[in-house]
Amino acid sequence: MLPTTPSPRPSDPGFATGTVTRREIEAREDAQLAPYAMRSQDSAGRVHDEPEHDYRTAYMRDRDRIIHASAFRKLEYKTQVFVNHEGDYYRTRLTHTMEVAQIARTAARALRLNEDLTESIALSHDLGHGPFGHKGEYVLQELMAEHGGFEHNEHGLRVVDHLELRYPRWRGLNLTYEVREAFARHSPRDLSAHGFPQGQQPLLEAQLVDVCDSLTYLAHDCDDGVTSGIVTTLDLCDVDLWRNHWQHVVRTEPELSHERKALLTVKRMIDHAVGDLVQSTWERITASGVTSPQAVRDQGGLLVGFSKDMHRMQRHLSHYLHEHFYCHPRLMKMGTKARRILMELFSAYQREPRMLDLVARAWVDEVGLERAICDRIASMSDREAQEEHARLFSPFERI
């Protein structure tokens, strides 16, 4: 028999004096965070009651649950812009997510917002994406048009509330209201049936992740675009934000290789955008006079955002990348292949639901055939979808 003595916990008398308990971290939050930041001790809690942890706050625990989730690990093989097998250099959804979390944490700390909540929202923000990036999302939207639709934020909430199976007494990760709320507030669909009253703004931590998401992908897509050869550093000089930093780097670091000049330009763009975001957000928060997270929810609009000038430059960059990168023939070809794979998988399962794995087959009884197929396909990584397609449609592929 193995010894059954539980390991000592910080609440035990005499436990390693000097270690930090949850209550102490909560007290630090209370002392250090801005009045409009969300405090973990004020969380509206979890759907299923659980005792609090001894040395992790509610949001630290959410972050850990997200990192250990299957959907999080699968981000490694899900497309950001390039399908995973196109090359190891390019961002995947996992590395994109890590970059967003890093940038959002930095900005949250500068604004005295709750870093752990910000990190949890950032790490979970793309959990609702299926394989093959936005193209995959459009295909699932089309396939589900008659069956309740598909939207990645709403689906992210399904992943954390229902589809992750890790705990003995409930489905999902049982995350706090505030992390779940971030999905709901960024979804264009009405999620009041899930307990999120309509007409409220996201918390500042959630607003911050949203802006950091676009800031991050616009910057890293310049890097991936240049590395792939689809856009050149000269092409990008049509965009003010790129041109300003590129010219500065060329002037001040003429000896650097072309590749390193491009990397330095991306780094400067991120730094410039984050600095602008922190400064203009702080000005707007101050002007609004908000003194609590609820006051943030009750505002008529968003408080996190760029200055007018940076907003214009970000929009211009986004527009440029849509025109010249995301719609490039190489990416369009990948998108067309992705569409065919997902369409064929969906209809094959529809015709013969017994090909679904046993967990998905049991889920059909709960949510109906099309939703269960959609949940299964959305859970797949790019290569899982490609391999499953080969198993179903290539006559000589081993099952």
- Contact set with Mg ion (CB under 5 A): 126, 213
Written as one letter, the residue type at 165 is L
Q: Kindly tell me which of 126 and 224 has the beta carbon lying closer to Mg ion.
A: 126
Least separation in angstroms between CB 216 and Mg ion: 7
Least separation in angstroms between CB 126 and Mg ion: 5
Q: Kindly tell me which of 213 and 224 has the beta carbon lying closer to Mg ion.
A: 213
Least separation in angstroms between CB 125 and Mg ion: 6
Written as one letter, the residue type at 324 is H
Least separation in angstroms between CB 103 and Mg ion: 11
Q: Kindly tell me which of 126 and 178 has the beta carbon lying closer to Mg ion.
A: 126
Give the Cα separation of 321 and 229 in Å (integer): 13
Least separation in angstroms between CB 370 and Mg ion: 26
Q: Kindly tell me which of 119 and 126 has the beta carbon lying closer to Mg ion.
A: 126
Least separation in angstroms between CB 367 and Mg ion: 26
Give the Cα separation of 181 and 177 in Å (integer): 6
Picking from 104, 114, 112, the residue whose alpha carbon sits closest to that of residue 211 is 104
- CB contact at 8 A, 141 and 154: no
Helices (H), 307-328: 308-321
Least separation in angstroms between CB 167 and Mg ion: 27
Written as one letter, the residue type at 272 is H
Q: Kindly tell me which of 134 and 383 has the beta carbon lying closer to Mg ion.
A: 134
DSSP lists the bridge partners of residue 176 as 46
Which residue's Cβ lies closest to Mg ion? 213
Q: Kindly tell me which of 293 and 335 has the beta carbon lying closer to Mg ion.
A: 335
Residue 176, token pair as written in the block: 């706090």
Residue with tokens 């971290």: 25
Map residue 101 onto helix, strand or coil.
Answer: helix
Q: Kindly tell me which of 181 and 388 has the beta carbon lying closer to Mg ion.
A: 181
DSSP lists the bridge partners of residue 353 as none
Is residue 307 packed enough to be buried (19+ CB in 10 Å), middle (13-18) or exposed (0-12)?
middle
Picking from 185, 137, 134, the residue whose alpha carbon sits closest to that of residue 157 is 185
Give the Cα separation of 206 and 108 in Å (integer): 10
Residue 250, token pair as written in the block: 């060329």
